Copies of this chain bind each other. A is one copy, B any other.
């Protein structure tokens, strides 16, 4: 069978699964999730065995140690997969929720009801745990999942999918609800994203290259973020101690993540006082500083920041620092260089806090909190399928609710249009 037919068949299977899921009850979905968790734990040894084939192959191919690390299913990661499944079982079901309902003068009642989106394609790279995480979120929100994992993790993914499908089958869930495109052929991705009307949404997770390739070629809506170029603006009325803690946390707590700070903006009124100490601390923590000319006056060790640096997502212990005239200049900088992911103002000034919240056009805008807190778990969404910097459907952390849409429901008593 050629790849085009193969992918189409899988997608049609997923579409049937999605139709069947419209009738699944919350209890049934939760039973599946708990069953999956138990089966994952029971299959620990088998999973590790299959995973070791992927690792062996990755080593032979000379793939990077970072990739091999992401690929590896340790006991801890297997436990986390099972825990994740149980946590999602415990979350409220978004499907069927009527978010609003109102009455019209003719007596007709109109409401908006949360419903599944349908078939969600997940395109991801090396981490096999995404297979379980994405499946469980999609399933709980009533969506069929069409999985296309990285070819380097194919044995691990295949083993996980087998377990998930067995659990679903045992609880009477249509097998199409969990569909795995089991081929190393990259062409499968391009076939999948052409299937407008069958696949309803695609969420790519991985490097910027993968995400751009998907977005550029997709005929199906895509939710994604390319990168996180996040900013902290230290206002003239910031509490300096709080600002220092937030900036250090936002940069060094886990610099390889999309919600880590890449550029610190400091109001010139406090720059002379604030910068030397905080930059010294950051340096001691291993952060390389790239500064504007004013920053370099206050901190000689800083390299010069170039225009293109401000667009950069370092994902590393490197930080741009820029002194700005005031909040307006900070917002202008953010408008220009931010990727629209997460921005924070540190200030005790009420007026500027409110203006920053309203005027900064990013997925999450914070006052006096570390950008690192923009995360489904930290926000209390329970779990996240990803983060969107798109401007429609969902911005920021996407949990179960963001895997649904709302349809209109109408309760009439024979109303017609006059």
A contact set with B: CB distance below 8 Å:
19, 22-23, 96, 102, 104, 108, 110, 113, 115, 117-118, 196, 200-201, 215-216, 219, 221, 223, 239, 242, 245-246, 249-250, 253-254, 335, 357-359, 361-370, 372-374, 378-380, 390-397, 405-417
Contact = CB atoms under 8 A, between A and B. Distances in A.
Given A22-B361, A117-B392, A368-B414, 11 more contacts: A104-B378, A108-B373, A113-B357, A115-B361, A200-B391, A242-B414, A369-B412, A369-B413, A391-B405, A396-B407, A396-B408
Given A379-B104, A395-B405, A19 B410 contact: no
Given A104-B380, A369-B410, A406-B395, A359 B415 contact: no
A198 to B, nearest CB: 11
A25 to B, nearest CB: 11
| A-B complex: 7 closest residue pairs judged by Cβ atoms | A369-B412, A249-B416, A366-B410, A372-B417, A364-B408, A393-B393, A368-B412
A392 B405 contact: yes
Contacts of A358: 22-23, 96
Nearest to A373: B417
Given A110-B379, A370-B417, A414-B242, A409 B335 contact: no
Contact of A367 (B117, B245, B410): B410
Contact of A216 (B115, B219, B391): B219
Given A104-B380, A372-B416, A407-B362, A392 B201 contact: yes
11 contacts: A115-B361, A118-B361, A246-B416, A363-B407, A366-B412, A368-B413, A368-B415, A369-B413, A374-B408, A379-B408, A392-B405
A367 B9 CA distance: 35
A374 B104 CA distance: 12
